[in-house]
Amino acid sequence: MFCRKSTLLLSMSLLVCFLATSGCSSATPSGASARKDATKEPAASSSGNAALVDGQSITIAQVDERVAKQIYDARQQALEQLVTDTLLEKEAKAQGITKDALLQKEVNAKLADPAPAEIDQVWEGNKARMPGKTKEQVTPDIVKWLKDQKGQQAQQSYLQSLRSKYKVQILLEPPRVDVAVDDDPVKGPTSAPVTIVEFSDFQCPYCSRAEAAIKQVLEKYQGKVRFVYRDYPLSFHPFAEKAAEAAQCANEQGKFWEFHDALYADQAKLSVPDMEATASRLGLNADKFKSCVESGKFTAEVTKDVADATKAGVNSTPSFFINGIAVVGAQGPEAFSEVIDRELAKSGSK
């Protein structure tokens, strides 16, 4: 869902583990792999500094800001497990049975065996990865995997029904990052109660996929959302940096969004000659556009966007901040709506 390497393991014993690339990211992780002393937490400096590098301070506040998302994710994971356990305990008590018996009754007992067509589909999609195996040999494992997947989905649906029944309210606040709007292209009124800042890369395929969701969100929340587009060209995308600069050149002529849409619509045409052709097709002054791109007029502007993104903890695209709350990857519109609705309710604008 975002331009970054990741893996999704689908637990199928004799079948393969499927590797799914979900996005594009910069090569350096944002502190998640930093080693911690598990035995003793060192005291913070009385000056508020965590380190000095050639006299330049790195403060405790900077460290806390960098790890805030990891801390929140850990709390959220623990909270979800506690909520699940509490829901199952309440419902099991109401029915006079154990939690295990409840799940067996409401979930496992209602699972149907996979249809032959489902088994065939999994086999056809994976047989090339299992040389020397016949369909008959792996069918039991396919059946088990399919039932496991259906079981997980059924359990999630059941837990969702319990959340509604017992009126679950999640009060845990996500961390907020102070992200500047800068002077970048904007859609929506300045007075909107919700501001979405996107850091994106014109060559990232997941950024292109996110476009449909963003358009739906802006249409749904007209007048209530301000959308700001900022650049975060990734170093391994050779055309991304110049495309970001070219978009600023188009912005100079009042055609940013048209140019933006055209680049994402055909990411195979990001070379300078292709972008010049796109600019001409959109009615831009060709000579002015070409001069702007060749001169590197907006190199510093793009560099500033990257610096602001890095400061905010961005290391993959697309990355969004909804009133400072991070939403990472090419999410569906519902992921944005969940945060936006909460923010609108807080502001009294819903």
Examine residue 39 and state whether it is found in any structural domain, yes or no: no
The mean per-residue pLDDT over the stretch 284-294 comes to: 98
Chain segment 221-231, per-residue pLDDT in tens: 999 999 999 99
Residues 201 and 89 in one domain: no
Last residue of a domain, one of 154, 174, 194: 174
Chain segment 95-141, per-residue pLDDT in tens: 999 999 999 999 999 999 999 999 999 999 999 999 999 999 999 99
Residues 141 and 227 in one domain: no
User: Which range marks the domain in which residue 222 is found?
Assistant: 186-347
Q: In CATH, what number is assigned to the domain containing residue 258?
A: 3.40.30.10
Residues 15 and 137 in one domain: yes
Query: Domain count of the chain?
Result: 2
Position 23 confidence tier, pLDDT thresholds 50, 70, 90:
low
Residues 160 and 192 in one domain: no
Residues 168 and 247 in one domain: no
Examine residue 181 and state whether it is found in any structural domain, yes or no: no
Examine residue 194 and state whether it is found in any structural domain, yes or no: yes
Residues 286 and 240 in one domain: yes
Q: Which two tokens stand for residue 72?
A: 């929140």
The mean per-residue pLDDT over the stretch 55-72 comes to: 85
* pTM of model > 0.85: no
Examine residue 47 and state whether it is found in any structural domain, yes or no: no
Q: Worst-scoring range by mean pLDDT, 7-11, 214-218, 282-286, 331-335?
A: 7-11
Residues 217 and 283 in one domain: yes
Residues 82 and 230 in one domain: no
Mean of all residue pLDDT scores within the chain: 88
Res 27: pLDDT = 53
Examine residue 56 and state whether it is found in any structural domain, yes or no: no
Residues 167 and 197 in one domain: no
Rounded (10°) angle between helices 240-252 and 286-295: 130
Position 350 confidence tier, pLDDT thresholds 50, 70, 90:
low
Residues 191 and 105 in one domain: no
Residue 235: Cβ-neighbour burial (10 angstroms; 0-12, 13-18, 19+): exposed
Residues 129 and 270 in one domain: no
Position 42 confidence tier, pLDDT thresholds 50, 70, 90:
very low
Helices of type H across the chain: 60-95, 99-106, 116-126, 135-165, 205-220, 240-252, 256-265, 272-281, 286-295, 299-311, 333-347
Examine residue 243 and state whether it is found in any structural domain, yes or no: yes
Last residue of a domain, one of 118, 148, 174: 174
Last residue of a domain, one of 174, 200, 218: 174
- Please report, in angstroms and rounded to a whole number, the separation of the first and last CA atoms in the chain: 28
Residues 68 and 105 in one domain: yes
